[in-house]
Amino acid sequence: MRPRLGVSLIWLWWLAATLLLWGIWNLLASRNPTYSAERILWPVQIAAQKIAKDPASAPPALVEGTHHKLQGIIQRYPGSKSAAQAQFLAAGIHAARGEYPQALAAYQRVLSDYPGMTLHVISSYRAIARIHLNQKLFEKALDTYRTLLSKYPMDVRVMDVPQLMMSVSRHNAPDAGAAALRFAVEYYQDAIRQSKPGSTLYLIAQQRLAGCHVLADQWEEAAQAYESLVITYYKRTKEVIYWMRNVEELGKRRLNQPGRAHQLALEFAQRYPDRRRVVERWLKAPAAEEPQPR
């Protein structure tokens, strides 16, 4: 019986065409600087992260080799995102190994050479502040945080910085805690005024503001912040339940208003009847507020 040459030839032609297209794609991709840089960076990044995670057990040859490869990427692809990442990783290795002068110099290179790489710049400022804190240079850490806030005042990625500054200030000089708290509150209030209700920035700033009020024993202001979150972000079921619990706790234990969460639940159910089930447990008035029989 003769073999079916037609089918075999079609299959061979299909395989050849597939291999040809694959070869062309790889050739074009290899000539794409971005693709090439990312492909080279990927295994080096994994090695750098392993070293940073456990610097004590990293062989010196691995550390030296990784630094050499990172520098190669920086030199081969200057100004690129991969070069910025390579510089940041090199700084991280130094920092993990306690080589603080080298780490600070490397992070400063990120700031000076890649000012447009916002993520890397913000992360570098944070890393620099951590190094200062490790060295107990609290005022330098605070100055670094202030610089970061001045450069990116309304970036969601720095919304925790005022609270970090408050923690550092309290640790460094207990008397400075009150001033740092006022600064944080004003910062978050300003962020809320400048952001659109329902936006991510508004959400994060409002949550941070509530946390500051709790730290300052400002119970009424904290309750109002959580209430605003409940009404504004009514679609976030898990978060709404969490905020409702906070309002309930504040009402019962701090404000002598055991029915505060109940009143909020009533408003919520009236505004969003299709979401009533989310606040069902708070719709029943507390026992102390139940009407007495006549």
101-131 burial, b for 16+ CB within 10 Å, e for fewer?
A: ebbbebbebbbeebeebeebbbbbbbbbbeb
Neighbour-count burial of 288, counting CB atoms closer than 10 A to its CB (0-12 exposed, 13-18 middle, 19+ buried):
exposed
Chain centroid to Cα 205, Å, comes to 13
Q: Convert the pLDDT of each residue in 119-176 to its tens digit.
A: 999 999 999 999 999 999 999 999 999 999 999 999 999 999 999 999 898 877 767 7
What pLDDT is recorded for position 241? 97
Residue 30 pLDDT > 50: no
Summarize the confidence of residues 94-99 as an average pLDDT. 97
Summarize the confidence of residues 2-11 as an average pLDDT. 56
Lowest mean pLDDT among 10-14, 83-87, 222-226: 10-14
- 205 contacts 159 by C-beta, under 8 angstroms: yes
> Which phi-psi region, left, alpha or beta, contains residue 79 (left: φ > 0; alpha: ψ -120 to 50)?
left
* This prediction's pTM: 0.80
Q: Convert the pLDDT of each residue in 173-223 to its tens digit.
A: 767 778 899 999 999 999 999 999 889 999 999 999 999 999 889 999 999
What pLDDT is recorded for position 95? 97
